[in-house]
A and B are shown apart, each in its own frame.
Chain A
Amino acid sequence: MSALIEAENLTRVLHETVPVTLVMDVSLTIGENEFIAVTGPSGSGKSSLLYLLGLLDRPTSGTLRVGGRDAEPMGEGERAGMRLSMLGFVFQFHFLLPEFSARENVEIPMRKLGRLSRPKMRARAAEILESLGLEGHIDKRPDQLSGGQRQRVAVARALANDPPLILADEPTGSLDTKSSEQVFRILEAVVRERGKTVVAVTHDLDLAARMDRRIHLVDGKIEADESLASAEKH
């Protein structure tokens, strides 16, 4: 099983009036079909780490390989291309484009990638949305959907180009318990049924306990990186 992400001594320092260390000396390897929780107190650098792994931000030092390719020499356009085909993001807030329907939002990354014909994109967008329990809401705009529904559209959008890795930053953070459970199950299904790797930041230790691997951050450093015994996993 090849590694999706290999990070070595990743450090991210913000050069403000006082240098702020967001991520400190993080080394980790993420393989295919993993279900990983990133936990830690607020301000411990969970989001910052995710932005680094997702090629949205550049580390101050350390090396990062995504899909076997060194991220360091990549230009802005190349990193964008990697985000488009290799990665899917889900944020705490849905971050859908407000003028477009659920289906159009899911289609946008596909259209940017341009690998499928338009009818196939439409069909695929509908299919993903339906598989996430959104049948009947496909042509609604974000403001016509509930919070949980929007977040599911965001997951659908992250899946649009069939990337091997989904990065989620507190995807259930702003949802009520019921919607939260629903979204969690969807992410779980993404791993179990679609064979993706999901890395999800969460505050909810119960949810983290249901995932396969937990990376615990404190002050930007990995304090614990524990996997469940494989017996427990299945």
Chain B
Amino acid sequence: MQLILEIAFTHIAGRGRQTLVAIIGVAVGVGFSIAMAALMEGGQDDFVEQLVNTMPHVEVTDEERSARRQPAEAIFAVTEISGLRPREDRRGIINPTAALAWLGGWVPGRFAPSLNAQGVVRFSGREVGAAIVGIDPQSERGVSPIVGEFVAGDFAALTAGGNNIVIGDTMAERLGAELGDTVTAVSSQGLTRNFRIVGLFHTGTTARDEGEAYVLLKNAQILAERPNAVNKIRIKLDDPNQAPAVARRVEAELGYKAEAWQEANEALLEALVVRNVIMYTVVAAIMLVAGFGIFNIISTITHEKARDIAIMKSLGFAEGDMRRLFLLEGVVIGLGGSAFGWALGFGLVYALSLVRFELAATGQEMTRLPIAWSLLHYLIASGFALASAAVAGYLPARRAARQNPVDIIRGAT
């Protein structure tokens, strides 16, 4: 109602300085909430992006989620099985060629098979335990976290065939080996084979740089004595968010455990949720404080305007009109504060985006603060601000509306 709005504006304008303070309170709250959200989400995005970049989005392994049903169980309603012994070796993925062909038919992304075997890499008397990963260099390119991370040699050298190996730079350091040296890989089956180092990678993930060695799939199969076996298929999707759906479908069809990156990192992602909860709690607390400013001014106005309220009621305004009037005044201050808060928030985020620093200690460079620009932050911050303003306006508004006009008119006469 336009009339109520006009009256609201005259009331607010009548208390210019106090209004300004309340608006600044809201603006600071909104501004800093926006900046905090940008920083928090920026950090989170950065973190998740690293997670998503370094891990396969879906990892299919030859494990199964639950114990294999015994054939007898399928036939009889009640069975008692005793003396069951698990098979010794891991089975590997049965008929990998068919599985890969099936995946190729529909998976929106790239995938690569591998055989992961535990073993040891040896060089001039030194030994380092390693996961020896047998790969197909062609398909590996699409999913590998190491392809672009070479500090010496390069990934393409694997493609050439032969007994070549690429290892992490940390492993090389621990072995004292360099590019071109020949190392010995020993499998847990006790087989040994010599490989020439054709590449050193540095991904920044210590476990990988220190503990992974990549060879051709064929070589790994020989080392592990498992010809033609594949025990892992890694999938990179065009859209990482589709991972759970893809994993479900793969698992349903192939029967092997297919784990989406979200599942594999559940604990980490949960920690992020907790972080967000903390953040929004802080935002709410800031807004509560801003709300006090609004509560203060609306209370002052309702006291100061008690006579006007009585007059308006005598003229025929209802309690609801009076409630709306002061509620509106709170919301107008909230809106004004939000508008300035948006500008402040934008400025703060922009300033933060200019900050650059280096993490020289670890040798890693962090050129700038991770910042997420999102309209949602602005909407959420002003949503909180408006809610707080509405409550802060409503409480005094309700009290003022209820006041009996007769008491005031009588008092003034």
Contact = CB atoms under 8 A, between A and B. Distances in A.
26 contacts: A47-B410, A56-B406, A56-B409, A57-B404, A57-B406, A76-B318, A76-B319, A77-B319, A80-B313, A80-B316, A80-B319, A80-B321, A83-B315, A84-B316, A87-B316, A89-B315, A93-B412, A95-B311, A97-B308, A99-B13, A109-B315, A109-B316, A111-B2, A112-B3, A113-B316, A161-B316
Contacts of A161: 316
Contacts, number: 79
A92 interface: yes
A100 interface: yes
Interface of A: 47, 51, 54, 56-57, 76-77, 80-85, 87, 89, 91-93, 95-100, 108-109, 111-113, 157, 161, 169-170
Interface in B296-327: 307-308, 310-321
Given A51-B406, A95-B307, A97-B308, A83 B320 contact: no
A111 to B, nearest CB: 5
A49 to B, nearest CB: 12
B165 to A, nearest CB: 85
Given A112-B315, A169-B413, A100 B3 contact: no
Given A57-B406, A95-B307, A97-B308, A89 B413 contact: no
Interface size class of B (residues with CB under 8 A): 20 to 34
A168 to B, nearest CB: 12
Interface string B164-199: 000000000000000000000000000000000000
Contacts of B307: 95
Contacts of B412: 91, 93, 95
Nearest to B320: A77
8 A-B pairs closest in CB distance: A84-B316, A80-B318, A99-B10, A83-B316, A77-B318, A111-B3, A95-B311, A89-B314
Contacts of B319: 76-77, 80
Contact of A97 (B311, B316, B404): B311
Contacts of A112: 3, 315-317, 321
Nearest to B316: A84
A170 B412 CA distance: 13
Most chain A Cβ neighbours within 10 Å, of B10, B311, B319: B311
Given A51-B406, A56-B405, A83 B413 contact: no
B14 interface: yes
A153 to B, nearest CB: 13
Given A47-B413, A169-B413, A56 B317 contact: no
A112 B308 CA distance: 15
B314 A92 contact: no
A95 B406 CA distance: 13
Contacts of B13: 99
A82 B413 CA distance: 24
Contacts of B413: 47, 91-93, 169-170
A113 B316 CA distance: 9
Given A91-B413, A92-B413, 9 more contacts: A56-B409, A76-B318, A76-B319, A83-B313, A84-B317, A98-B308, A99-B10, A108-B315, A157-B315
Nearest to B4: A112
Contacts of A111: 2-3
Contacts of B314: 54, 56, 83, 89, 91, 95
B10 to A, nearest CB: 4
A76 B320 CA distance: 9
A148 B307 CA distance: 20
Contact of A91 (B2, B10, B320, B409): B409
Given A112-B3, A169-B413, A99 B316 contact: no
B72 to A, nearest CB: 78
Contacts of A47: 410, 413
A111 B14 CA distance: 22
Contacts of A57: 404, 406
A56 B10 contact: no
